[in-house]
Amino acid sequence: MSAHRRLLTGVFLGSAAMAEGHLTRAQLRRRSYRRLVQGVYADPGLPFDHRLRCRGLALLLPPGAAIGGHSAAAWYGAPFAAADDQVTVVCPEEVRWRGPREAAVHHTVLRAHDVVCVEDVPVTTASRTAWDVMTLEPLTTAVAALDAMVCGGHLTTTDLVAMSEHGAGRWGISKVRRAVPLVDPRAESPQESRLRVCLRLAGLEPVPQYEVLHHGRFVARVDLAFPEARLAIEYEGAHHFEDGQIPRDDERLDRLRAAGWRVIRVSATDMRDLDALLARIRVALTYAPGSH
């Protein structure tokens, strides 16, 4: 009975559960088990996130393969991949496995010491995950993940610098060397990281998580700041629209303005038109108080 409960209240192969007599095909459908990937199911009471999908896909992995890249980063402080995103899998070159459509399989050199088992899931180590994130993902996504991994203590910026300095000849080294100087663990959200990277690539140098003081007294801590121009850039995620948050945000903006600061509030919509956003910020910097 205990084995039965463990099997059917976790993540399991549908074919194995039916072969062992735990349930019939009709029961599998009727009881609303969540389908994670082809042939793999989960108890519907489990939180559906990307790690759960990884756990499901792990049951299908051939020997030597592992969850990697942006998917593995979820185990190292960067749970940014969405529940329905494809699971990144790294697979030894000699293992010709394509995987189900829910997997993005990358055949590469993968050694035993690159993989650890966490919660019965084979995932790449933090350092290998960082390398794969930098080489497989878009730059802003990679830096956001690395910011969180360093902030969580799973890597250090020294580790990353060593990768860039000693990785000559490895595939993707140019991407690694582009990403590493942009990492800053002060970021407090992936979108803040992405926004900072976009500004840096445009030649701007904002200060992350800057504490604004006025007459020696604390006013606010802002996402990104240009202190000399007294300009703050604030990313507004979904939590800014929760009950009670809007009045607090308005009060905070009033304090910043009273201290002589201007604030540009950035939304997900603004991030979809970066040229227009950068133009707004450049204008604000050009016409900063005291610039004439």
**Segment 170-200, tens digit of pLDDT:** 889 999 999 999 999 999 999 999 999 999 9
Question: What's the pLDDT score for residue 26?
Answer: 87
Average pLDDT, whole number, for the chain?
Answer: 90
Indicate whether 292 belongs to any domain: no
Residue 252: domain span: 190-286
Using an 8 Å Cβ cutoff, are 149 and 141 in contact? no
Are 56 and 146 part of one and the same domain?
Answer: yes
Question: What's the pLDDT score for residue 283?
Answer: 95
Question: What's the pLDDT score for residue 240?
Answer: 47
Indicate whether 167 belongs to any domain: yes
Judged against a pLDDT cut of 80, whether residue 2 lies above it is answered with no
Are 80 and 157 part of one and the same domain?
Answer: yes
Are 94 and 174 part of one and the same domain?
Answer: yes
Contacts 24+ apart (CB under 8 A), 30-39: 33/8, 36/11, 36/102, 37/87, 37/100, 37/102, 37/103, 38/100, 38/101, 38/102, 39/13, 39/14, 39/15, 39/100
Q: pLDDT > 70: what percent of the chain?
A: 92
Question: What's the pLDDT score for residue 22?
Answer: 85
Structural domain count of the chain: 3
Question: Distances from the Cα of 181 to the Cαs of 8, 99, 149, 210, 227, in angstroms?
Answer: 47, 35, 15, 19, 21
130-169 tens-digit pLDDT: 999 999 999 999 999 999 999 999 999 999 999 999 888 8
Indicate whether 62 belongs to any domain: yes
Are 58 and 174 part of one and the same domain?
Answer: yes
Indicate whether 18 belongs to any domain: yes
Of 131, 158, 182, the one marking the end of a domain is 182
Are 55 and 37 part of one and the same domain?
Answer: no
Question: What's the pLDDT score for residue 9?
Answer: 59
Banded model confidence at residue 216, pLDDT cuts 50, 70, 90: very high
Cβ neighbours of residue 146 closer than 8 Å, sequence gap 6 or more: 78, 130, 133, 134, 155, 160, 179, 183
Full DSSP string of 150-200? HHTTSS-HHHHHHHHHH-TTSTTHHHHHHHGGG--TT--SHHHHHHHHHHH
Strand 121-124 versus strand 207-214 pairing type: unpaired
Question: What's the pLDDT score for residue 290?
Answer: 59
Q: What is the mean pLDDT of residues 117-124?
A: 93
Question: What's the pLDDT score for residue 247?
Answer: 66
Question: What's the pLDDT score for residue 157?
Answer: 96
Q: What is the mean pLDDT of residues 75-92?
A: 95
With residue 105 as reference, give the H or E element that holds it.
Answer: strand 103-108
Q: Of residues 246 and 194, which shows the higher confidence score?
A: 194
Indicate whether 231 belongs to any domain: yes
Judged against a pLDDT cut of 50, whether residue 128 lies above it is answered with yes
Indicate whether 140 belongs to any domain: yes
27-57 tens-digit pLDDT: 887 778 899 998 999 988 899 999 999 999 9
**φ and ψ at 72, to 5 degrees?**
-65, -30
Strand 262-266 versus strand 231-235 pairing type: parallel
Judged against a pLDDT cut of 80, whether residue 292 lies above it is answered with no
Please state the pTM of the whole predicted model. 0.86
Question: What's the pLDDT score for residue 265?
Answer: 94
Question: What's the pLDDT score for residue 241?
Answer: 46
Using an 8 Å Cβ cutoff, are 209 and 188 in contact? yes
Using an 8 Å Cβ cutoff, are 285 and 229 in contact? yes
Indicate whether 291 belongs to any domain: no
